Amino acid sequence: MRAGAPRDLWSLVEWRASLTPTDPIAFDEHDRQIDFAEFRDWGERVAAGLRAFGIEPGQRVGWMLPTRIESLVLTVALARLGCSQVPLIPVYGQREVSFILAQSKPAWAVLPGSWNDTDYAALFDEARGESETPGWLKADPDLPEGDPASLPPVEPAEADPTRWIFYTSGTTSDPKGALHSDGTLLASAIGLDEPHAFVSDDRVSLVFPYAHIGGPILLMSALRVGHSLILSETFAPAIVIEALSRHGVTLAGPGPAFWRAYLRAQRDRPDRALFPRLRALIGGGAAKPAHLHAEARDLFGVPIVSGYGLTECPSLAYNHVGDSDAVLATDGRAVEGVEIRIVGEDEQACVAGEDGEIRVRGPMLFRGYLDRALDRDALDASGFMRTGDIGRLDEAGSLRVTGRAKDIIIRKGENISAKEVEDVLASHAGVADVAVIGLPDRERGERCCAVVVCDEGEERPTLDALVLHCERSGLMKQKHPEQLEWIAALPRNSTGKVLKAELRSRFGPSP
């Protein structure tokens, strides 16, 4: 922990503004920037404006805003009021919004008006229907402001109260509201520090939805360390890459889809370094193909420093800047305060190198779900979270995620890790992106289907060619793809994870 740093969000804002008031906290794609003192002052004015609008200290407030400076300001203004927050990712549709509003019951909601071809007021009205739902105010992008002198004094809070509800993506069922506190998010921010070797001169990309749990965590990291964030409302590669270049990005993320865009842009402009100050590509949220490491070294001269985490327990394992390429090929090792166990079907701990379910606990572990009925299956008797992910630890403590319990293809009784097959197929020269899914099969139970994206203008490899590639790569015959489907782009959620349920629906049940 940085010496003297407080442990709640608003106190962090005040603390950082007193230390480095004129240093920048954020830049955006429109070349706006704001320093730490301006950020604090704006946050207080907005807190006063929100209170004048009718939002009272301690109320629950939902917000559904894009990644812009105003969104960060709203976050700290609500923290100043002691409100609890329900961030909603702007790509959510009517179904998800309806469920979240009905379950979390916020007193207020803050919406962006019309943005990215969506009328959020209309979406909100449709989602709430006839039910008793919150009032809302529009931030388009301006936020209400008032006189900070009208604010009540900051009251000492109970020990780290629950003030956040982050919803999972809900790709296979209704979204689940994970309860967090400033302290659990701060623990994740602290966990990012050593792996990335953050310094105050760093400029870190924040080009994914800020409403995702990683957004407030990066904000807390910036407040702790004093580094800057580079924001963009949407990931339009041409706009984002130019913004990151202009503002001197040093750590660019947040995951494989973004890394590929950066690498592609650098290949297209071999005459100049896009990111001359870059120290690493960073992030997680989705499996990383091994060949991207080599490309990052070749084109940018930097490593990919990636990690593993969940909404319920974010940023829990990370590689470190300076690790060897062999270590960087893993999914990281436990960050400060985290314990990782690999547990077999018999509930016994697995030995190093043996696959089992990944279970975790640490200071960033969530406080349970808003729907308490879900808590029973979330933790084991020792307080470790059952992640549902399959993996192994090596002798040095590095984690390798080998698949999800729900992402196992069972073919004639043989368990096949989809990720293992994806890693092999991704190394084929004709494959730009790939997802492997199990589809129902009358004879085999499930068959292995490869859904492949090919670079524009490239010749599509045949199924036979991909099977031959798997054979030459040493993949056992039972794991070879039996069906090949082509797609222009893999459907992904806002954090880059492939929506496999959507692919199964599209290409199943059987030919």
Superfamily grouping for domain 414-507: ANL, C-terminal domain (3.30.300.30)
Closest listed residue to residue 450, CA positions, set 409, 393, 392, 403: 409
Fold of 9-183: Rossmann fold (3.40.50)
**Tens digit of each residue's pLDDT, the chain (511 residues):** 466 779 899 999 999 999 999 999 999 999 999 999 999 999 999 999 999 999 999 999 999 999 999 999 999 999 999 999 999 999 888 888 989 999 999 999 999 989 999 999 999 988 887 666 678 899 999 999 999 999 999 887 778 999 999 998 644 457 899 999 999 999 999 999 999 999 999 999 999 999 999 999 999 999 999 999 999 998 899 999 999 999 999 999 998 888 989 999 999 999 999 999 999 999 976 667 778 888 999 999 999 999 999 999 999 999 999 999 999 999 999 999 999 999 998 999 999 999 999 999 999 999 999 999 999 989 999 999 999 999 999 999 999 998 776 688 888 767 788 988 998 999 999 999 999 999 998 778 899 999 999 977 788 999 999 999 999 988 888 899 999 999 999 999 877 889 998 999 999 874 4
pTM for the model stands at 0.87
Same fold, 9-183 and 414-507: no
Give the whole-angstrom CA distance, residue 509 versus residue 511: 7
**What residues does each domain of the chain span?**
9-183, 186-341, 414-507
Superfamily grouping for domain 186-341: ANL, N-terminal domain (3.40.50.12780)
Question: In sequence order, what are the residues at sequence separation of 6 or more whose Cβ sits closer than 8 angstroms to the Cβ of residue 83?
Answer: 55, 57, 58, 59, 60, 61, 163
Name the 3-class secondary structure at 35.
strand
Question: In sequence order, what are the residues at sequence separation of 6 or more whose Cβ sits closer than 8 angstroms to the Cβ of residue 189?
Answer: 217, 218, 220, 221, 224, 315
